[in-house]
């Protein structure tokens, strides 16, 4: 499997929270050959099962499929589309973006605002407010209203780019890169002997409240779970120690079970996989938060891909981190003992 090409396809696909179904066919096509079973639960989460040799215990992997985006709020008298956000969009980056309005048919548009020549000196020093932006699709109000309705979704139009030294850039790498990590893991597990059934779940609506993780964890009832997401990578002017190209970040804190953390670190050391430790003293803000407290509680871990410029259309990651994250998970699963009781002791 060409993992970079898969990430490109996922990045350039559209699936704002609550509207992820457009990516289902792609995922089923790519994950079908590396899964034993494919199912969709009542919420819409896609679950890819890889059977173990025993099948007594369940290991759940979770990476969210949804992306942040915009939603049509109003159409003014001149046909300009007013909008609001779905999820934590960085509003500072919106002016001048190309977008697609997903109405009765897809309409290409641009996000405009009052030009700087007409701003006061005071307003020039401020970020443009979202209520002062609009989408221009080049049509009069009557024609816009025939094609676009209140509540329609708007997505940023951005091509996936290959940069130097295995770096890539695009929209929705949070968390489509995590989906690719699950593909790497399942692909690698085809070559390995593992006792336990693996449930790789593409969860929905993480960006608006980890909802898919909540429902899928209740459904799967895992004995161990590992969430896969992105984390803030070191960048110019950012005092963070997680670096791109230096391997996955393994979360450590109250949201993560100590035995799962220990097992991931030991696996990385045993297989010479570069890794970083991410201290998380509170809620991780990922699917791990919902999974950990599902039913009577689930021993949960978190593996994160270092990412720059999160929640913008130019998110940047390194493919080495994506692939090594998937291999780390595969080797961890393959080395889980037949009986998990002792493994999960503090």
Distances (CA, A) of 1 to 5, 33, 63, 64, 183: 9, 10, 19, 21, 9
Note if 206 is an active site residue: yes
Which of 33, 23, 25, 26 has its CA nearest to residue 1? 33
For the chain, give the number of residues: 346
| Alpha helices, H only, 55-210 | 121-124, 141-147, 173-189
What gap in Å lies between CA 343 and CA 346, rounded to an integer? Answer: 8
Neighbours of 152 (CB within 10 A): 18
Give backbone dihedrals phi and psi of 199, rounded to 5 degrees, phi first.
-115, 105
Catalytic one of 30, 206, 207, 315: 206
Query: Cβ-count burial of 206 within 10 angstroms (0-12 exposed, 13-18 middle, 19+ buried)?
Result: buried
Q: Give the strand pairing for 81-86 and 98-102.
A: unpaired
Give residue 18's region: left, alpha or beta (phi > 0; psi -120 to 50): left
Angle at 226 (CA atoms; ends 60, 55), nearest 5 degrees: 30
Instruction: Give CA torsion, residues 195, 199, 200, 201, to 10 deg.
Output: -170
DSSP 210: S
Give me the residues paired with residue 278 across strands. 251
Give the CB-side neighbour count of residue 91, counting CA atoms within 13 A.
15
Catalytic residues: 206
């Amino acid at each position: 499997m060409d993992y970079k090409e898969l990430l490109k396809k996922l990045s350039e696909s559209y699936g704002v929270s609550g509207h992820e179904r457009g990516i289902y066919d792609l995922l089923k096509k790519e994950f079908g050959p590396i899964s034993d079973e494919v199912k969709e639960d009542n919420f819409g989460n896609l679950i890819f099962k890889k059977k173990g040799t025993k099948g007594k215990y369940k290991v759940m992997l979770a990476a969210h499929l949804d992306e942040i985006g915009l939603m049509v709020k109003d159409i003014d008298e001149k046909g300009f589309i007013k909008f609001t956000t779905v999820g934590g969009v960085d509003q500072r980056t919106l002016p001048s973006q190309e977008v697609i309005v997903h109405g009765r048919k897809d309409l290409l548009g641009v996000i405009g605002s009052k030009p700087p020549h007409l701003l006061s000196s005071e307003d020039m020093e401020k970020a443009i407010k979202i209520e002062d932006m609009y989408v221009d699709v080049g049509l009069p109000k009557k024609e816009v209203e025939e094609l676009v309705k209140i509540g329609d979704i708007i997505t940023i139009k951005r091509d996936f780019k290959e940069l130097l030294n295995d770096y890539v850039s695009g929209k929705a790498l949070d968390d489509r890169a995590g989906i690719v990590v699950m593909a790497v893991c399942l692909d690698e597990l085809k070559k390995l002997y593992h006792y336990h059934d693996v449930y790789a779940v593409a969860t929905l609506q993480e960006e608006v409240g980890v909802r898919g993780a909540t429902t899928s964890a209740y459904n799967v009832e895992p004995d161990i779970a590992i969430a896969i997401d992105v984390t803030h990578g070191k960048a110019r002017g950012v005092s963070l120690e997680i670096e791109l190209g230096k391997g996955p970040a393994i979360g450590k804190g109250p949201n993560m079970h100590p035995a799962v953390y220990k097992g991931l670190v030991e696996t990385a050391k045993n297989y010479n996989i570069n890794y970083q430790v991410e201290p998380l003293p509170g809620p991780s803000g990922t699917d791990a938060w919902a999974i950990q407290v599902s039913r009577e509680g689930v021993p949960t871990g978190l593996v994160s891909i270092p990412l720059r410029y999160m929640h913008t259309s130019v998110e940047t990651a390194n493919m080495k981190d994506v692939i090594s994250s998937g291999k780390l998970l595969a080797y961890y699963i393959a080395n889980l003992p037949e009986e998990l009781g002792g493994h999960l002791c503090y």
